[in-house]
């Protein structure tokens, strides 16, 4: 962490200094542009009013050329300034994460976990203070979604998870590449994360110009003949300008005849390009990087079959630059009538779409994966003490030494072990002693392991399991569902999943059936736990009902009682959050009530 902090601090200093220098350069260039523009205007007027000889036009043209050149250079400075601001922001965010001040980051994933997800609502995957909020350092909407998908769905098998781990290890020290990737992607999206969905819809759609294919060769030949006739007549090489006017009228008729398909094409293109913006520099960063690992090399190779994606996108950007003449309300009608400009440009864009459109989705899927892997790698870079877990495809098991909650700044660490199918912990302890936190820590680290992340533990071994939870059950007045019935629905989902994936499920159940009476709660809790174990699931359950602990006598080899305790020293209630064997012997409910000001006789 000290290394990451030093790196971020150095980069913050670097980019702040760079911004000061760029601001000065930008101010100088702006002043020079003003001077050259005024020179162009002054010389032009002076020649026009015969104040200086005609050769003054050369000076005016030189001033105009200087203005254009300075504008190009100034645009580059502005771009570098925007990029430096983005890089500065990324490094400042890194420092905030290391200081534990990431809870106010805007990207929380709130509301994006599907209803009824098997663990997403219980393990702080999304929301304020969540794993997603701590992790998300993506630049596009697709990258953000890929990151969330990986947290909500385990990797398809151990091999795929190990491939992600290898990629994360390789990307960890590549801070320049990771930050360039994100910065360029966010530059493409301007204020919001860019979403190429509409662009892909356009790229994969059929051509709207099929009905006017005849206009493509005409647009190349007729304007040349028309303009040529005009030049010849102007130089008296033709007896009159009639051929020019005939050609111009035909071209205007062609513009009118093709306006509907051209309009549909432009509308679809404008909508798609608005969501797409400019990604050539993003892919140029990928093209320039040398990868060693198999997964990263495969992603890069897929983007470089044929011309590099960045080259193709630069070509598209140039064509769009020509197409944007349409936004010039005064110049566009004249130029379009003289040259059939829209046909020439939009047919070329349509040809680009036919050549590249089918592969565009794969480009952005690869980019999304690289963004998600880079977010994982940022976690690895900032937390090098976190271990990469050993993952296998065997029956359910999990074992970790010194496991802590990954979202706490200074978690108390405990060893955990569930040796195989049918094993369980019954966790008892007083209120606020750490029971639920241990389950969330184990569940969340398991989710991280199966996504390809390092975990908050000294070492961890886990199989590719399906995590199941029932912790934050809520009633719903809108749906007319009581707390108890909502919990019953949740438990049914847990059981159905355990049946469908026998020997593969890892469950975490918190205070079962609190919505019913003590006797029925005892019966239902005991039977549920035994049913899950008989289905080959493994897991943990917390309870204040000590009768549940009696199950360890029925199955001493597979059910283990563990507990957390509290102590009252000098009138203060303290917790050490250390896991111990056996059943808790103390309670603190009355003490908690008294400390809250509720006096119980």
DSSP 1-17: -HHHHHHHHHHHHHHHH
Cβ neighbours for 150, distance < 8 A, ≥ 6 positions apart: 164, 372, 451, 452
pLDDT above 60: residue 254: yes
Q: Contact, 486 vs 474, CB < 8 A?
A: yes
Query: What's residue 588's pLDDT?
Result: 59
Q: Give per-residue pLDDT as tens, 124-155.
A: 999 999 999 999 999 899 999 999 999 999 99
Q: Contact, 107 vs 144, CB < 8 A?
A: yes
Separation of CA 258 from chain center: 41
Cβ neighbours for 175, distance < 8 A, ≥ 6 positions apart: 7, 381
| Residue 244 buriedness (CB in 10 A; 0-12 / 13-18 / 19+) | buried
Mean pLDDT of 313-328: 83
Q: Which residue has the higher pLDDT, 570 or 299?
A: 299
Helix (H) or strand (E) holding 484: helix 483-500
The C-alpha atoms of residue 201 and residue 269 are separated, in whole angstroms, by 10
Q: Give per-residue pLDDT as tens, 155-180.
A: 999 999 999 999 999 999 999 999 99
Query: What's residue 60's pLDDT?
Result: 82
Query: What's residue 301's pLDDT?
Result: 85
The C-alpha atoms of residue 467 and residue 190 are separated, in whole angstroms, by 38
Mean pLDDT of 537-563: 91
pLDDT above 90: residue 547: no
Q: Contact, 390 vs 461, CB < 8 A?
A: yes
The C-alpha atoms of residue 502 and residue 453 are separated, in whole angstroms, by 25
User: DSSP alpha helices (H): ranges in 305-457?
Assistant: 309-323, 331-339, 341-382, 435-451
pLDDT above 90: residue 328: no
Query: What's residue 346's pLDDT?
Result: 92
Distances (CA, A) of 436 to 340, 349, 456, 458, 511: 70, 58, 17, 21, 9
Q: Give per-residue pLDDT as tens, 88-132.
A: 999 999 999 999 999 999 999 998 999 889 999 899 999 999 999
Which residues partner with 462 through β-bridges? 391, 398
For a pLDDT cut of 90, what percent of the chain falls above it?
A: 56
Instruction: Return the closest-CA partner of residue 108 out of 139, 83, 133, 88.
Output: 133
Mean pLDDT of 573-592: 75
Q: CA 356, 358, 364, 369 torsion: positive or negative?
A: negative
- State whether residue 564 is helix, strand or coil: strand
The C-alpha atoms of residue 340 and residue 256 are separated, in whole angstroms, by 11
Query: What's residue 119's pLDDT?
Result: 95
Helix (H) or strand (E) holding 171: helix 158-171
Tell me the two tokens of residue 488.
């019953």
Query: What's residue 476's pLDDT?
Result: 47
Q: Contact, 399 vs 461, CB < 8 A?
A: yes
The C-alpha atoms of residue 30 and residue 285 are separated, in whole angstroms, by 29
Q: Which residue has the higher pLDDT, 267 or 379?
A: 379
Q: Give per-residue pLDDT as tens, 512-521.
A: 887 677 788 8
Query: What's residue 256's pLDDT?
Result: 94
DSSP E strands in 143-220: the ranges are: none
Domain boundaries, the chain: 1-101, 195-365, 390-595
The C-alpha atoms of residue 255 and residue 341 are separated, in whole angstroms, by 10
Cβ neighbours for 489, distance < 8 A, ≥ 6 positions apart: 481
> Domain spanning 390-595: which superfamily?
P-loop containing nucleotide triphosphate hydrolases (3.40.50.300)
Question: What are the φ and ψ backbone dihedral angles of 129, each rounded to 5 degrees?
Answer: 80, 20
Which residues partner with 403 through β-bridges? 414
- State whether residue 402 is helix, strand or coil: strand
- State whether residue 293 is helix, strand or coil: coil
Q: Give per-residue pLDDT as tens, 467-512.
A: 999 987 664 444 445 777 778 888 999 999 999 999 999 999 988 8
Most confident of 243-257, 450-464, 516-530, 583-597: 450-464
Q: Which residue has the higher pLDDT, 210 or 566?
A: 210
Strand duo 559-564 + 572-575: pairing: unpaired
Cβ neighbours for 590, distance < 8 A, ≥ 6 positions apart: 600
Helix (H) or strand (E) holding 87: helix 56-98
Separation of CA 360 from chain center: 18
Mean pLDDT of 564-583: 80
Mean pLDDT of the chain, nearest integer: 88
pLDDT above 80: residue 273: no
B/e letters for 425-442, b = 16+ CB within 10 Å, e = fewer, are: bbbbbbeebbbbbbbbbb
Q: Contact, 174 vs 131, CB < 8 A?
A: no
Q: Contact, 274 vs 194, CB < 8 A?
A: no
Query: What's residue 277's pLDDT?
Result: 54
Query: What's residue 89's pLDDT?
Result: 94
Q: Which residue's structure tokens are 């994100």?
A: 182
Q: What is the DSSP string of 22-80?
A: HHHHHHHHHHHHHHHHHHHHHHHHHHHTTSS-TTHHHHHHHHHHHHHHHHHHHHHHHHH
pLDDT above 90: residue 347: yes
Question: What are the φ and ψ backbone dihedral angles of 358, each rounded to 5 degrees?
Answer: -65, -25
Model confidence band, residue 65 (pLDDT cutoffs 50, 70, 90): confident
Helix (H) or strand (E) holding 400: strand 398-403
Instruction: Return the closest-CA partner of residue 98 out of 379, 505, 358.
Output: 379
> How long is the chain?
601
DSSP E strands in 189-267: the ranges are: none
Beta sheet of 505-510, edge-to-edge order: 466-470, 505-510, 538-542, 424-429, 559-564, 580-581
Instruction: Return the closest-CA partner of residue 542 out of 400, 462, 443.
Output: 443
Lowest mean pLDDT among 274-278, 358-362, 465-469: 274-278
- Per-residue DSSP letter, 114: P
For a pLDDT cut of 70, what percent of the chain falls above it?
A: 92
The C-alpha atoms of residue 128 and residue 108 are separated, in whole angstroms, by 6
Cβ neighbours for 537, distance < 8 A, ≥ 6 positions apart: 396, 421, 422, 468, 498, 502, 503, 505, 506, 507
Q: What is the DSSP string of 434-480?
A: SHHHHHHHHHHHHHHHHHT--BSSSEEEEE--EEEEES----BTTTT
Instruction: Return the closest-CA partner of residue 535 out of 588, 495, 586.
Output: 495
Query: What's residue 99's pLDDT?
Result: 93
pLDDT above 80: residue 79: yes
- To the nearest 10 degrees (0 to 180), the angle between helices 141-152 and 341-382 is 40
Q: Which residue has the higher pLDDT, 591 or 282?
A: 282
Strand duo 390-392 + 459-463: pairing: parallel
pLDDT above 80: residue 274: no
């Amino acid at each position: 962490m000290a290394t990451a902090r030093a790196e971020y601090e150095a980069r913050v200093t670097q980019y702040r200094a760079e911004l000061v220098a760029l601001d000065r350069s930008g101010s100088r260039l702006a002043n020079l542009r003003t001077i050259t523009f005024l020179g162009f205007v002054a010389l032009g007027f002076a020649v026009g009013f015969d104040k200086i000889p005609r050769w003054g036009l050369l000076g005016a043209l030189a001033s105009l050329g200087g203005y254009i050149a300075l504008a190009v250079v100034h645009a580059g400075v502005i771009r570098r300034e925007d990029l430096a601001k983005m890089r500065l922001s990324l490094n400042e965010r890194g420092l905030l994460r290391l200081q534990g001040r990431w809870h106010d980051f805007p990207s929380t994933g709130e509301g994006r976990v599907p209803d009824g997800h098997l663990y997403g609502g219980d393990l702080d995957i999304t929301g304020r203070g969540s794993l997603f909020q701590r992790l998300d350092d993506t630049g596009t909407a697709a990258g953000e979604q890929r990151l969330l998908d990986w947290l909500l769905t385990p990797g398809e098998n151990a091999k795929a998870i190990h491939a992600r781990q290898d990629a994360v290890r390789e990307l960890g020290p590549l801070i320049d590449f990771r930050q360039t990737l994100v910065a360029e992607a966010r530059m493409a999206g301007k204020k919001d994360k860019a979403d190429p969905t509409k662009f892909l819809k356009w790229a994969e759609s059929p051509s709207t110009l099929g009905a006017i294919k005849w206009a493509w060769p005409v647009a190349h030949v007729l304007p040349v003949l028309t303009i040529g006739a005009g030049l010849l007549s102007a130089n008296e090489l033709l007896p009159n300008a009639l051929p020019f006017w005939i050609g111009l009228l035909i071209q205007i008729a062609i513009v009118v005849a093709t306006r509907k398909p051209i309009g549909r094409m432009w509308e679809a293109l404008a909508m798609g390009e608005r969501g797409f913006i400019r990604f050539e520099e993003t892919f140029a960063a990928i093209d320039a990087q040398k990868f060693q690992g198999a997964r990263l090399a495969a992603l890069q190779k897929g983007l470089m079959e044929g011309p590099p994606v960045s080259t193709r996108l630069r070509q598209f950007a140039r064509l769009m630059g020509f197409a944007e003449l349409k936004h010039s309300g005064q110049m566009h009608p004249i130029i379009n009538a003289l040259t059939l400009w829209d046909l020439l440009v939009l047919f070329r864009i349509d040809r680009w779409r036919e050549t590249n459109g089918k592969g565009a989705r794969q480009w952005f899927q690869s980019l999304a994966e690289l963004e998600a892997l880079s977010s994982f790698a940022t976690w690895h870079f900032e937390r090098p003490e976190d271990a990469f877990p050993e993952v296998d495809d065997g029956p359910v098991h999990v074992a970790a030494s010194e496991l802590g909650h990954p979202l706490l700044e200074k978690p108390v660490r405990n060893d955990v072990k569930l040796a195989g199918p049918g094993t369980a912990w019954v966790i008892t302890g007083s209120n606020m002693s750490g029971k639920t936190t241990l389950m969330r820590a184990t569940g969340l680290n398991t989710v991280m392991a199966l996504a390809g992340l390092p975990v908050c533990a000294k070492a961890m071994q886990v199989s590719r399991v399906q995590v199941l939870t029932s912790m934050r059950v809520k009633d719903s007045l809108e749906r007319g569902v009581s707390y108890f019935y909502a919990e019953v629905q949740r438990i049914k989902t847990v059981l159905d999943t355990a049946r469908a994936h026998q020997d593969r499920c890892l469950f975490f159940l918190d205070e079962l059936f609190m919505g019913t009476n003590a006797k029925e709660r005892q019966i239902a809790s005991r039977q549920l736990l035994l049913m899950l174990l008989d289905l080959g699931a493994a897991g943990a359950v917390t309870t204040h009902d000590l009768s549940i602990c009696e199950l360890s006598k029925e199955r001493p080899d597979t059910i283990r009682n563990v507990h957390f305790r509290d102590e009252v020293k000098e009138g203060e209630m303290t917790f050490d959050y250390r896991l111990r064997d056996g059943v808790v012997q103390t309670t603190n409910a009355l003490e908690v009530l008294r400390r809250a000001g509720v006096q119980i006789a």
